[in-house]
Amino acid sequence: MIVAKDLVKEFKIYQHHRGAFGAIRNMFSTKHTIVRAVDQISFQIAAGELVGYLGPNGAGKSTTIKMLTGILVPTSGELTIGGIVPWRERVKHVRRMGVVFGQRTTLWWDLPVIETMELLRHIYKIPERQYRRNMDMFADLLGLSEFLNIPVRSLSLGQRMRADLAAAFLHDPEIVFLDEPTIGLDVLAKERIRQFIVTINSEKKTTVILTTHDLGDVAKLCRRVMMIDRGKVLFDGALAELVSRFGGERRLIVDFAEEYDDLSIAGARIVAKEGRKVTYAFHSNGNGVAPLIENLSRNYKWADISLQDPDVETTIRHIYEQWEGDHSSEYC
């Protein structure tokens, strides 16, 4: 579906002279620096995948998405989506994709939702039968019937977001770009939208690229994640692998059968103790938990043992904090 090879996007940043004399100098000579926002990234995304494209502010996410949607032309590299080059066959590409921007609506502000949908039906030349089928599905999954006749400007944020999602998926696009689709929504609204995305992706095999800072979205929606920083892809793989590699410390919770004075074990540290129940923190370092359990079994009697892995939100937040501590980027 999507094949990107050595994509590069550079921007010229002009340095202007100040003052009246500087304004005259700017007319004849200006200096500039080259900033590389995307630095030779390569990846492939198969049809029907739901991929999280993550990274801190200024990492290069937005620049990448603008190239994928055909808004920006890369400085160098190759990119095809469904066999076409997005910026060369823009009209054809736009008809096959949908977009949702959490902070900006694509709907007509003064029109009722139903009239917006009718306009989109004519713009995309959607057959009547397909249109009715999709509208019935969206009414069921997103509860559109509650506000179909209300002007977009009068909708709540949650209602507008649901309408935006319906508009993006109305013409059965092959690929949809979702940028912060649950931003500012309450817990129930977020859950409804997440369920809608999962259902559409599963039933229609729509390829979905998700960019978000809501780690709950990542945990609930994405099996595969790509993480970018300073324009380079630092990780591309299964979400479970990300947690395993970058999740930090794991927890081993042991309920001892007897009281012991010293419960320290090599390779782990005690982080909590309540009666005979002790929680150890440790880094597996590829060895897993087996050596710790063997150590415990040799030296102590225990009634129960459980293992607690780092959750997705904690893992990604930990990675972001490391990035923010290392540098601050200029472009996104």
Residue 200 has pLDDT above 70, yes or no: yes
Q: Residue 328 pLDDT > 50, yes or no?
A: no
How is residue 154 annotated by DSSP? G
Gyration radius of the chain's alpha carbons: 25
Q: What is the mean pLDDT of residues 6-32?
A: 76
User: Does the pLDDT value for residue 202 go beyond 80?
Assistant: yes
| pLDDT tens profile 233-283 | 989 999 888 877 777 778 899 999 999 989 999 889 999 999 999 999 887
Which segments within 213-331 are labelled E, that is strand? 224-229, 232-238, 250-256, 269-274, 277-282, 302-308
pLDDT of residue 41: 96
Mean pLDDT for 144-160 is: 94
Helix (H, G, I), strand (E, B) or coil at 321: helix
pTM of the model: 0.79
Q: Which pLDDT score, from 0 to 100, does residue 165 have?
A: 96
Instruction: Identify the residue whose tokens are 């993006």.
Output: 168
Q: Which residues pair with 307 in a beta bridge?
A: 252
Q: Give the length of the chain.
A: 332
Using CA atoms, how far apart are residues 332 and 329, in angstroms rounded to an integer?
8
State the pLDDT at residue 326.
Answer: 60
Q: SS3 breakdown of the chain: % helix, strand, coil, rounded to 5? A: 40, 30, 30
Q: In the structure encoding, which two tokens stand for residue 108, read together? A: 């007509």
Q: How far is CA 139 from CA 187, 252, 296, in A?
A: 20, 46, 56
Residue 285 has pLDDT above 70, yes or no: no
- Spatial separation of the C-alpha atoms in residues 312 and 292, rounded to whole Å: 24
Q: What is the pLDDT of residues 101-131, one digit of tens each?
A: 877 888 999 999 999 999 999 999 999 999 9
48-244 maps to CATH 1.10.10.10: no
Predicted local confidence at residue 232, as pLDDT: 93
Q: How far is the C-alpha of 141 from the C-alpha of 144, rounded, in Å?
A: 8
Residue 85, classed as helix, strand or coil, is: coil
Distance CA 330, CA 332 (A): 7
Over 60: is that where the pLDDT of 331 sits? no
Q: What residues contact residue 249 under an 8 Å CB cut-off, 6+ apart?
A: 281, 282, 283, 310
pLDDT score, position 109: 92
Say what the pLDDT of residue 329 is. Answer: 42
Spatial distance between the Cα atoms of 328 and 5, rounded to a whole number of angstroms: 27
Residues β-bridged to residue 251: 281, 308
Q: Confidence class of residue 324 from pLDDT cuts 50, 70 and 90?
A: low
